[in-house]
């Protein structure tokens, strides 16, 4: 699978040394070596125009913290964004990243990621560049780098040639609207706990029915909003 890459990721960051990080190991790292995908880190400070390489300034209207300047970040985007790639800003106020968006990104040519710091990015830059804002969830990170790494890990594993057995992807959480069913392996008995008999029966239809029932129950209990969407989708197919 070595050869010309098909998926190109660009990370705009104040801390390029944070990459590739975990993306340089395991499946993503092997795929990076084989050029199934490429990763370019762009130091935003390199596009500052003053001798101090200033990338931020105090917010208009007052308040704590600093804001990333639109002129500096815009220059970085203009110099490094590959044509046709989505421009994404990782921010707590963004739409929650889901598996459907991950699949859509994996099907495209690549992605350009803005890793924010401080209080965030000047709103005018986000509007001028029509930036897509995405969030990993309702919590705060020190910066966008960790979120960018998580997003890329989710995307890269879906690229052709990265995961050996692609059928394993089909049964994962969110792929069919449900959380994943429980898994078991040897030994048969561990600390007095037994593997469910149906999984040792060799009866494939019964195993599949058990797994479906388990996935539905786990989703219903743990993620009622997912369960509601799943039920609605089922009703629409009837």
- Can you tell me the distance from the alpha carbon of 69 to that of 4, in angstroms, rounded to the nearest whole number? 35
Within the chain, which residues score under 50 in pLDDT? Answer: 1-3
> In sequence order, what DSSP letters do the residues of 117-130 get, joined into one string?
-TT-B-HHHHHHTT
Considering only CA atoms, which of 17, 20, 79 is closest in space to residue 46? 79
Measured in degrees and rounded to the nearest 5, phi and psi for residue 23 equal -70, -10
SS3 152: helix
**Residue pLDDT, tens place only, 45-62:** 999 999 999 999 999 999
Contact 152, 41 (CB under 8 A): no
For position 1, what pLDDT does the model report?
Answer: 43
Instruction: Give the tokens for residue 218.
Output: 């786990």
> In sequence order, what DSSP letters do the residues of 166-180 get, joined into one string?
THHHHTSTTTTSSPP
- Give the containing element (helix H, strand E) for 33: helix 26-33
**Residue pLDDT, tens place only, 63-90:** 999 999 999 999 999 999 999 999 999 9
Q: How is residue 191 annotated by DSSP?
A: T
Domains contained in the chain, CATH given: 7-156 (3.40.1280.10), 171-237 (1.10.1270.20)
**What count of other Cβ atoms lies within 10 Å of the Cβ of residue 139?**
7
- Can you tell me the distance from the alpha carbon of 27 to that of 17, in angstroms, rounded to the nearest whole number? 20
């Amino acid at each position: 699978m070595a050869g010309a890459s098909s998926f190109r990721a660009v990370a705009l960051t104040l801390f390029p040394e944070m990459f590739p990080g975990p993306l340089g190991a395991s499946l993503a790292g092997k795929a990076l070596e084989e050029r199934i995908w490429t990763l370019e880190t762009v130091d935003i400070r390199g596009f500052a125009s003053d001798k101090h390489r200033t990338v931020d300034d105090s917010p208009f209207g007052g308040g704590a913290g600093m804001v990333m300047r639109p002129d500096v970040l815009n220059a970085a985007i203009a110099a490094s964004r590959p044509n046709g790639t989505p421009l994404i800003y990782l921010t707590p106020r963004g739409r929650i990243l889901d598996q459907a968006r991950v699949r859509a990104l994996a099907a495209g040519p690549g992605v350009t990621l803005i890793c924010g710091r401080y209080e965030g990015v000047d709103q005018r830059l986000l509007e001028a560049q029509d930036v897509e804002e995405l969030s990993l969830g309702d919590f705060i990170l020190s910066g966008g780098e960790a979120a960018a790494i998580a997003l890329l890990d989710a995307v890269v594993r879906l690229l052709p040639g990265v995961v050996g057995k692609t059928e394993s992807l089909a049964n994962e959480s969110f792929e069919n609207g449900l959380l994943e069913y429980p898994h078991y392996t040897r030994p048969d008995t561990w600390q007095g706990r037994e593997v469910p008999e149906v999984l040792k029966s060799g009866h494939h239809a019964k195993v599949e029915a058990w797994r479906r029932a388990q996935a539905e129950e786990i989703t219903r209990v743990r993620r009622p909003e997912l369960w509601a969407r799943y039920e609605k989708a089922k009703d629409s197919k009837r």
